[in-house]
Structure 1
Amino acid sequence: MTHSTSPLPEFAARHLGPRDEDVAAMLDVIGQPDLEALVAATLPARLRDTHRLAIEPSDSEQAMLAELRSIAAQNVVKTSLIGLGYHQTVIPPVIQCNILENPAWYTAYTPYQPEISQGRLEALLNFQTMVADLTGLDIANASLLDE
């Protein structure tokens, strides 16, 4: 097995975006000589920002990995007590079904029950209609209904 001692290309060039050959093929399909010409043909000049961003050059992959290793070396591994003592435990099905698998214990979400909502809306309409009939008014609301 042979190993190359030449430096690897930058991480971003190896992993982010299309390769130079792919960019050339795409530009050839749309009939543009380069990316600058594509931008000029697509974006009006008044919208283009021509000054360069003040971004420092990136580190090499090896330098970045060394920095990440030094940060990771500062971690202190503590003993985790989560889950200790809960091994090979048999849970009765009634407990598992009604407590451990019941979403009411771990969520505030109430399932929507359309038949209940529809029934309530119908009761409100019936009450309003009855109040309008009894009072002889053209309109009524359900604010007097005490459910």
Structure 2
Amino acid sequence: MERARKLGSRAILRRLVSEQKQQPLYKSSRYVSSLSASVAVQRGSNVVNSHSFNSRSLVQFVGSRSISVDALKPSDSFPRRHNSAAPENQSKMAEFVGFDSLDSLIDATVPKSIRIDKMELPVFSEGLTEAQMLEHMQDLASKNKVFKSYIGMGYYNTFVPPVILRNIMENPGWYTQYTPYQAEISQGRLESLLNYQTMITDLTGLPMSNASLLDEGTAAAEAMAMCNNILKGKKKTFVIASNCHPQTIDVCVTRADGFGLKVVIS
């Protein structure tokens, strides 16, 4: 039995070497090799499955169909997996608007004065598969030197209890891939803000609550704008403590320019 398997393997290798340049007559499955023995072979009314597929049958099976080394090449390349228009579809779309190819369409629409020569990237000239790209990026990342920052600037390391981390910050129910500016009720961010506002009104006893802002600088600038609105623009000077974080002061200065306010840092 061992000898039969060796003979079958040698026959497959000889076949591959002799037909290396031959193009396959079919496009094999993405995940199943064209040499897979799971394909059933019919003999009259009987079907021979993978359990009864012996070495002799494998040799006969290999000899009856075209085999190419392309079936052994990596199949995790990006273009074949990209969900986009196929080349034939691109050609049809270009022909529909009067061009024979996508390149000719670009030549007619993009001025030559703003084009650049083709970038020479020898490492990527033939394209990388997903596995090769991950290996390349990991190699680049390994060259980084990670140091601990002691600057702080208002963003200090804090301890978040695991129960909050697990159920709030790492719970997909509280966030989606959409921006928080879209007002779909399905977004967990809106629900979390509602819970936050409810808690604040319970704690303060006030009939209203804020709804959180992006960061400290934005909150400070909004507070400055609120003061300006309350005074109806009668006073144009806004004082900021000098020990505030510089990024907070910068945001206030930028926002004050639009209101015609004078920011005094003291």
Superposition TM-score, scaled by structure 1 size: 0.46
Q: Quick one: higher RCO (CA 8 Å, sep 6+), 1 or 2?
A: 1
Superposition TM-score, scaled by structure 2 size: 0.29
Is the strand fraction higher in 1 or 2? 2
